[in-house]
Amino acid sequence: MDLPPGCMVSEKQCQKVCKLKKSLYGLKQSPRARFGRFTKLMRAFGYRQSNSYHTLFLKMHHGKIMTLIVYVDDMVVTGNDPEERKARQNDLSREFEMKYLGHLKYFLGIEVSRSSEGIFLSQRKYALDLL
C-alpha cells in the first residue's frame, strides 16, 4: 500500500504495515466483509443459512415462512408473513444502505408477472437477449 501524496513519515515508519479495520469499497474483500456482516445479522434475527446455496436465508416459525436471497447487491424477500418482511426491511435499512423497489418484476434473467391466477415466471427477455 502506498502512502497518499503529501504524507510525510520518518524512514523507520516507512517499513510499517497498515491494518484496515473496515473494508474499502472497490477491494475484493469488501463484498466478503459486507456479506459476513449480513450473514451475522440474519442469524441474529433467527434465519438459517442454506447449506446448498449460501446466499439463501430461511426462517420458519409457527407455520409462517420467510425466504431472503442475495445476489451481489440485489435482495429478494418473500414469504407469508408481512410483519416479518417489514421488520426485516427496517432492520436491514438501518444497517445497510438500501431501498425498497416494490414487487419483484425481474431478477437474474427471470421476469416475474403477477395475476389473479398466481405468479408467472418467464425467461423470454433473457432468450431474446441471447438471440
3 state DSSP class of 38: helix
67 half-sphere exposure, CB direction, 13 A CA radius: 9
Output the pLDDT for position 21. Answer: 62
Output the pLDDT for position 24. Answer: 56
Output the pLDDT for position 17. Answer: 66
Distances from the Cα of 70 to the Cα of 17, 20, 38, angstroms = 34, 26, 10
Output the pLDDT for position 44. Answer: 92
